[in-house]
Amino acid sequence: MYQGSCLCGVIKVELLGPITSIIHCHCSLCRKSSGTAYATNGFINTHEFKVIDPQNKLTYYAFKPGKHRHFCSVCASPIFSSNSDNPSKLRIRLGILDSEITQRPLSHNFVSSKADWDELDAALPRFDSFEPSRRG
């Protein structure tokens, strides 16, 4: 089981299943949403994810129809993203987790959109779009 929380601790999360397809995403949307060079995201099963939010502070931004970025309304920590095209999966920001993560990133994605000051120093495969296993 994985556990995590937002920066202020108002929202806590529990994940009972695995994290899959972990990637470092360099797209402009992830850079702007995270305020960093890239966001490290992984997919989780919706039914294995629990949000503990006793003060009702989880909110979202609909950046495209059916696509929501959920975050804490107090500290603005990104928690997860949802997509109505695939309601059985969520995309979680790994930085929200406090538990040790056993899975590892597969690749750097959208590298053609990366911040010009980022050197991509990790020895991972690099793709201009999604990793090959997610295409199609």
The predicted pLDDT at position 134 comes to 74
E-strand stretches of the chain: 2-5, 12-15, 20-25, 39-45, 49-52, 58-64, 67-72, 78-83, 89-93, 107-109
- What average pLDDT score do residues 6-13 get? 97
The predicted pLDDT at position 136 comes to 57
**Structure tokens of 94?**
């790994």
On whether the CB atoms of residues 11 and 79 are closer than 8 A, the answer is yes
Question: What is the set of domains in the chain, with CATH numbers?
Answer: 2-114 (2.170.150.70)
d(CA 125, CA 136): 19
**Structure tokens of 77?**
């920590």
Neighbour tally for 6: CB within 10 Å: 22
Dihedral (C-alpha) 61, 64, 69, 73: value to the nearest 10 degrees?
0
Tens digits of residue pLDDT in 55-113: 999 999 998 999 999 999 999 999 999 999 999 999 999 999 999 998 999 999 999 99
